[in-house]
Amino acid sequence: MKAKKKKRQDDFQKVKLKIGKKKPKADNATNTSFRSKAISLPEQLKRDTSGPTTHRNQGINDLLSQLHHHNANVKHGALLGLRELLSINPQLLDSHLSRLLSEVAAVFTDKDGDVRITATRVLRFVAQSVPSERVAPFFPLLSAHLSCAMTHIEVSIQEDAMKVLDVLLEHYPTLLSSRPAVLLTNFLELISHRQNTGGAKKALDSKARTWALSVNPGRAVTSQEWRLNVLLRLGQFLQAVVDERPVEKTDMSHSEGSLDKEGHITSLNLTWEELVYNKAAVNLFEHSGAKPTQFSTFKLRPQSESTGEVGESLDSKEAVQNFAATLVPLLLEVWVEASVNNNSWNNSEAAHLLTPDAMSVMFQVLTILQLLRKLAPHQEHQEALDAWFRKEYLGDFKQHFLKNFPYGNLDTPKHKKKNELKRNKQVSALPMATVDPLALNITLCQVMVSLSQKQELSTESDSSWLTPLRVFAQDTLSSGVKLSSKQLNMLLDTVWKMVVTQKSRTMTEDLLAAIYSYYQQKHLNLQTRSLLLSFYSKLYQQEQVHTHIARSKVLSQWLASLPVQLSQLGHRNPTLSAQLIRSIQAAASRGNKDMLLSLQKYSSELYDSSEGVIVFLPSELQQQMVQLLYFLPKMPQSLLANLCGCCNDGRISADLGASLIRIVHLRSSLSGWTVGSQESAVQDVDYLSFLFSTLSGFSSEKLSSLQDTVDECAVPLGALSPLRLHPTPTDHFKHHWDIVDEVCLCLENLGSKSQCFDVMQNGILRYLAKLRVIPDSTAAALLKAVTRLRDRSVVPSEPILRLLSLCCLSLLALLTTLQQETPETNQKREAIWGSCVSALGAVPRLLRTVLQLLRVEDLTEDELPHLGQVLSMLLQHSPLHNQLLSNTALLQDIIQQLTRYSRSSTREQWMTDLLYCFSVTMAHSSSVHRGSVGMY
């Protein structure tokens, strides 16, 4: 306790302060003299903040630098990291593309297999996301590394280089094929080696092969598979090169392109201003000279000056030829080895049966041969190249390729197949593991046929070795095997070449018949069908050049079948229809008899107005079909009836209808345009009745059916409109109106107008006079036609005058009921009014008859305003004044009656209007004519 107290006292002891002495420091004073320093571990904490990182916090620069690491695992890890990084941050690609590509390409030749594979993956990833034009500047580097890998001494690196090549082929075929020289040599070196022949030996025979197939026992795969691998890539590569070539013309069409509808000429549009200021250069064309010459001094591609065994580029014929000279012997060796292997394998007499392996090798060989042919930069070079091939290798080809032709598939027992599968898996499955024997055979055909030449007197006949090929093609086509469109195309190409080069009639006939039997199969898809169609139509166009095709029965049979096909096809496939129509047109313009007769036979079906093909097709095709009509030798009545229906139904446009009428007009004897001795296709009687029915606009059945539907008639005016008018829809009315224009024109041009008028008059009386309900379009058309056809000398007969006046009055009455809101009805109003007025003005006594028809006492109260409106409209129309004046008495009478019947108490607006109009008209004309008509 005491101690405690003492302590407490200690605490509160007073500090004595003395003068002159320093003040002691307080116990709790803080010493502020110390300084702090941070411990920093910069290496550990530094982050790559400059860019995004992987999950292991590695930036792209780290990863790229790690690729130089000596340890394979580090490199592998870095590549994996790169891939991760790039997939998360694709924007890195843009900024680091150059370094990335150079570093990744450098490890193509890495010793470690995993690294190489991962590098390939990274490359694939990059290729997927970078377009080829951005890789272009780095591509020389890439291809240098690629060649490095391909020529590497280590076998496995060579094999992996193939994968790199695959990636590049897939994504950058254009870049790869732009500089083919080095790669091609590499390809050769992969499967063969250069023989180090001494100078002496070389001098001995310079033609001796300097390349020989090589076998490397150290490979993981058999040499055959390895070769297949390489050949596959080579094929793809050549394909890319071929694709790069400017597209000229395919084999089948290197005729004169005589009927080239698409037009292969590209236009050059120039603006004068640009030329003046030299902004654009003008191309000079050779034929623009004073005397056109066919020989041009232009060479679009520079002639390569290379003389090396593999040309610097494949741009000249010589380069291609050199390359082929190196490659073809190798290919032949590959072929021979494959077939020898094959034979030793099953050592049976059935040498034509192949294992799948051999088959695919052979297929590749043939594909490459085919591509080699196409490598020729120009069309004329191709022919030269073909000739060269023929000269050099025809014997070899015949000996090897055709020995066991046609090849079949070997039926391997099942357990073997299993083995096969296993092995295939081990070799990581070739892309094209199995090849159809059909494809092999067809390719072989094409390669061989390209060697055949046009038969001339000097050359020995090719037909002996072509026979098996021909038989094969014939059998394949006629047996009805399903062919893919590519195979079919190749086969057709083969046939084409055979037909053109071997000018024998029987052979051509057989081949064409085979194709025709294929053509007649039912379930062909569109592509196949159009392929076959174009084949035939091209053949047909060649007819004149090759006389042996000219009278081919199959061809004319095919032509004759076209109209049937067209009608059967219906509306299902417009593109195919277009093709058919084009062929029909070509044949029709040449006046092919069989085809025309067949067309005539089916014409009524084709041109049926309700379910014929013509109403379903798009308008361009409709037009072509209408043009086909011109070529028909005869147009029977049934066809004309259908055509008339087509014109009237509005399923084809009014323009097209007009041109249809014009074409029928041209083919009638009345048109006047005849050059040479062409018989008229249409009888005059038929033609006139065609025109008349088109004029009336409705078929007789339709008109008679209209008679029964009196109640639905929309115009209720009884006494004012003596005929019941059936209102046609405005668009139909317009269509009919345009057609009627054309019909009137044709009628006017027929020759004698008065006779024509008589004919029309008879027709009208016979068919239309009895009707009680008439469509308004028909009535208007009648008035128009009569007006335009009338000759001054002819006076229309009484019944016709009556009918016309009825029509006229009814139409006028209709006008008063039509609303004039929409522009369409306005058009209709104008058309009706115009026809009425011109008829009233032109046909004598028509106005009088109309006025006589007006019986005011029969009208009901409601109809009076309408009548008044009609009359005032007529009175306001000045061209009619003279005619009205001659009927003044009648008019006065009517107006008097009107005033009497209308309730005089309410003198309505229309009445005042009418009276005013009347007085103005009368006054005006009396002042002119000095007549004395005074009233009101």
Partner 1 sequence: MAAPLEVVVSSDSSSQLWNCTVFDLHSGSSLLSYRGGNSSARTLTVLSGSTSCPLSSDQLQQKIVCPGVVTCLTASPNGLFLATGVAEAIYLWEVSTGKLLAVLSRHYQDVTCLKFTDDTSHFVSGAKDNMALVWSLSSVIQLDSNHVPEPRHVLSRHTLPITDLHCGLMGPQARVATASLDQTVKVWELSSGEMLLSVLFDVAIMSVTLDPSEYFLFCGGSDGNIFQVSLCSQTITRDKQFQSGDDGNQVFKGHRNLVTCLSVSMDGILLLSGSHDETVRLWDIQSKQSIRCLTHKGPVTNAVIMLAPANMFLPDSRPALPLPRFSRHVHGSEGDASESGELCVRLGLYTQEEDETYLQKAAKLNSLMNAVTDKSVFGDGENTKVRVAELEEEVQTLKKVNKDLYDFSTQLLTKPT
Q: List interacting residues with partner 1 (CB under 8 A).
A: 256, 258-259, 261, 263, 265, 267, 269, 284-293, 295-297, 544, 585, 589-591, 624, 627, 630, 655, 658-659, 662-663, 666, 671-673, 675-678, 745, 748-749
Least separation in angstroms between CB 589 and partner 1:
4
Q: Which is closer to partner 1, CB of 670 or CB of 719?
A: 670
Least separation in angstroms between CB 627 and partner 1:
5
Q: Which is closer to partner 1, CB of 246 or CB of 676?
A: 676
**d(Cα 702, Cα 704) in Å, to the nearest integer?**
5
Single out the residue of 859, 853, 855 nearest to residue 806, CA to CA. Answer: 853
Least separation in angstroms between CB 259 and partner 1:
6
**Segments in 155-219 forming alpha helices (H):** 155-171, 173-178, 180-191, 199-204
Q: Which is closer to partner 1, CB of 247 or CB of 290?
A: 290
Q: Which is closer to partner 1, CB of 309 or CB of 738?
A: 738
Q: Which is closer to partner 1, CB of 285 or CB of 916?
A: 285
**d(Cα 635, Cα 687) in Å, to the nearest integer?**
10
Least separation in angstroms between CB 493 and partner 1:
24
H/E segment holding residue 726:
strand 724-726
Q: Which is closer to partner 1, CB of 749 or CB of 860?
A: 749
Least separation in angstroms between CB 269 and partner 1:
5
Least separation in angstroms between CB 801 and partner 1:
26
Q: Which is closer to partner 1, CB of 98 or CB of 547?
A: 547
State the angle between helix axes of 180-191 and 223-244 in degrees (0 to 180), rounded to the nearest 10.
160
> Taking the alpha carbons of 235, 240, 244, 247 in that order, is the dihedral positive or negative?
positive
**d(Cα 273, Cα 698) in Å, to the nearest integer?**
57
**d(Cα 755, Cα 386) in Å, to the nearest integer?**
71
Least separation in angstroms between CB 907 and partner 1:
49
Least separation in angstroms between CB 280 and partner 1:
14
Structure letter (DSSP) for residue 773: E
Least separation in angstroms between CB 653 and partner 1:
12
Q: Which is closer to partner 1, CB of 115 or CB of 559?
A: 559
Least separation in angstroms between CB 751 and partner 1:
9
Both structure tokens of 178: 């732009």
The DSSP line for 588-639 is: HHTT-HHHHHHHHHHHHHHT-TTTSGGGTS-HHHHHHHHHHGGG-S---HHH
Least separation in angstroms between CB 655 and partner 1:
7
Q: Which residues pair with 445 in a beta bridge?
A: none
**d(Cα 936, Cα 210) in Å, to the nearest integer?**
123
**d(Cα 573, Cα 571) in Å, to the nearest integer?**
6
The DSSP line for 58-97 is: --HHHHHHHTT-S-HHHHHHHHHHHHHHHHH-THHHHHHH
Q: Which is closer to partner 1, CB of 145 or CB of 538?
A: 538
Single out the residue of 437, 512, 514, 533 nearest to residue 476, CA to CA. Answer: 514
Rg (the chain; Cα; Å): 47
Least separation in angstroms between CB 730 and partner 1:
22
Q: Which is closer to partner 1, CB of 294 or CB of 347?
A: 294
Q: Which is closer to partner 1, CB of 243 or CB of 286?
A: 286
Please return the burial class of 559, using the count of CB atoms within 10 Å of its CB with bins 0-12, 13-18 and 19+.
Answer: buried
Q: How far is CA 878 from the centre of its chain?
A: 58
**d(Cα 144, Cα 152) in Å, to the nearest integer?**
12
Least separation in angstroms between CB 541 and partner 1:
10
Residue 53's region, left for phi above 0, alpha for psi from -120 to 50, else beta, is: beta
Q: Which is closer to partner 1, CB of 332 or CB of 613?
A: 613
Residue 311's region, left for phi above 0, alpha for psi from -120 to 50, else beta, is: beta
Q: Are 809 and 850 in contact, with CB atoms under 8 Å apart?
A: yes
**d(Cα 7, Cα 28) in Å, to the nearest integer?**
17
**d(Cα 398, Cα 401) in Å, to the nearest integer?**
6
Both structure tokens of 655: 């323009």
The one-letter amino acid code at 844 reads P
Q: Which is closer to partner 1, CB of 195 or CB of 659?
A: 659
Least separation in angstroms between CB 677 and partner 1:
5
**d(Cα 899, Cα 867) in Å, to the nearest integer?**
12
- Give Cβ neighbours of residue 855 (< 8 Å, ≥ 6 apart): 719
Q: Which is closer to partner 1, CB of 478 or CB of 627?
A: 627
